[in-house]
Amino acid sequence: MRKNISTAVIRRLPRYYRCLSELANEGAERISSQDLARRMGLTASQIRQDLNHFGGFGQQGYGYNIKELKNELRVLLGLGRAYSVIIVGAGNIGTALARYSGFAREGFYVSALFDANPARCNRAEQPPIFPADNLEGYLAENPADIAVISVPVQHAQAMADRLCKAGVKAIWNFAPCDISVPAGTVLESVNLSDSLYQLTYLAAHREKK
Amino acid sequence: MRKNISTAVIRRLPRYYRCLSELANEGAERISSQDLARRMGLTASQIRQDLNHFGGFGQQGYGYNIKELKNELRVLLGLGRAYSVIIVGAGNIGTALARYSGFAREGFYVSALFDANPARCNRAEQPPIFPADNLEGYLAENPADIAVISVPVQHAQAMADRLCKAGVKAIWNFAPCDISVPAGTVLESVNLSDSLYQLTYLAAHREKK
């Protein structure tokens, strides 16, 4: 059944989770699809349709139980467990991600960074930064659930190939290029340039007032 | 005419631009819609349809002139001009973006960062980091084309309001929340948590081999 869910629906799931987490933090217990729709800028019928894909957590006339729905979404998103993460490329972005405490709060633990530049390597740092040559040896002893690629664009595909060969099954790519991974490996990319150019496109074609 | 172009098409434009830049760097002069499709993982008819929205740069039987199409896309994306950028929030992500040299290469110049934490402020740094209180005064004298929001989630909307009131017309938001901006202001968000949860969703629902 889950195979037929469109990418657009799946892309909205983290937003639902985020919105329900905010509501739970505010102390709310139930929310109607209408109110959830208003908060998320969607229609109530779209929300009911989206959540029906996953079993339909709502009760006619009572709305959604926020805590319950949030927990279901958490499991659905593969959260609520620990993930060991390595970061390949200890430049600006790689280092910023390693230092971001928000990820640890949701169960993502960066165990190590790797860099081709010896000057950046530092075993004493927390997490340690190892030479890129040590990657395969490290992964053989410390399997990683997720590898972040934050190397320069010309090395990104070769690094993805190495990671996949070393058994990594989930790649979060920050290099500003498309990379390909073998079947059975999942990939999600954050392309900051593409996002910035999207913004300049919108700015250039904005309705003049 | 441009008002009817779908978001999906617009989202692909930076990828076209990126792909054509790579081809130009490789020294290629022309490319057929078939070859471009193969390279981008799209179909040739989709590529012809996409580019027809913007005037149709191809010539039947000759393919696309890479340099010409790249330059047209560059203008279309609002690139090929200078943008002054300020960054609000000099934490991990804000600082990483300020240091990223790739943006300067495409005409984006970070003139200043702002932070509410006095310990982070430093006028001697390049670009300088000013106290957040100085934001309105600075913008009155140094209008910014783009403001990056990289403050904690609980301050993001208030900061967006301040920026819009101070005349900023384009916001690139990195706070992991939805923010709203007045009509006439454009907004593009990079939500790293949403992207990471997308990855864990895919990993959790991967076809087991």
pLDDT of residue B204: 93
pLDDT grade for B57, boundaries at 50, 70 and 90: low
Q: Which residues contact A115 (CB under 8 A, 6 or more apart)?
A: A88, A89, A90, A91, A94, A121, A129, A130, A131, A132
- Can you tell me the distance from the alpha carbon of A19 to that of A34, in angstroms, rounded to the nearest whole number? 14
Measured CA to CA in angstroms, residue A131 lies from A118, A161, B86 at distances of: 6, 17, 34
Mean pLDDT of B146-169: 97
Of A72, A1, A71, A59, the residue nearest A30 (C-alpha): A59
The pLDDT, as a whole number, for residue A52 is 83
Query: How much is the pLDDT for A207?
Result: 66
| Amino acid A2: pLDDT | 52
Partners of A189 in the β-ladder: A173
Using a CB-CB distance cutoff of 8 angstroms, which residues of chain B are in contact with residue A92? Answer: 95-97, 99-100
Put simply, the answer to whether B199 touches A170 (Cβ < 8 Å) is yes
Strand partners, A110: A85
Chunked in runs of 10, what are the mean pLDDT values of chain A (209 residues)?
73 93 93 91 90 70 87 92 97 94 89 97 94 98 98 96 98 95 96 95 80
| pTM score, whole prediction | 0.91
The Cα–Cα gap between B146 and A199 comes to: 9
pLDDT confidence of B3, banded at 50, 70, 90?
low
Residue B145 Ramachandran class (φ > 0 left, ψ -120 to 50 alpha, else beta): alpha
Q: Are A145 and A172 in contact (CB under 8 A)?
A: no
CB B94 within 8 A of CB B87: yes
pLDDT at A7: 84
Residue of A199, A202, A209 to mutate, interface with B, max B Cβ within 10 Å:
A199
pLDDT at A78: 94
* Mean predicted confidence (pLDDT) in B148-174: 97
B-chain residues within 8 Å CB-CB of A41? Answer: 178
pLDDT, residue B59, reads 65
Query: What's the pLDDT tens digit per position in B79-108?
Result: 989 999 999 999 999 999 999 888 888 899
Residue A127: which of A111, A138, A139 has the closest Cα? A111
pLDDT at B169 (0 to 100)? 97
Which among B18-22, B61-65, B145-149 has the top mean pLDDT?
Answer: B145-149
Cross-chain Cβ contact B95/A92 below 8 Å: yes
Which pLDDT score, from 0 to 100, does residue A209 have? 44
pLDDT at A97: 95
Q: Are B193 and B199 in contact (CB under 8 A)?
A: no
B55 Cβ under 8 Å from any chain A Cβ: no
In angstroms, the first-to-last Cα distance of chain B is 48
Q: Tokens at residue A102, please?
A: 């928000």
* pLDDT confidence of residue B1: 42
Q: Are B139 and B171 in contact (CB under 8 A)?
A: no
B10: contact with A, CB 8 A cutoff: yes
Cβ of residue A42 closer than 8 Å to a chain B Cβ: no
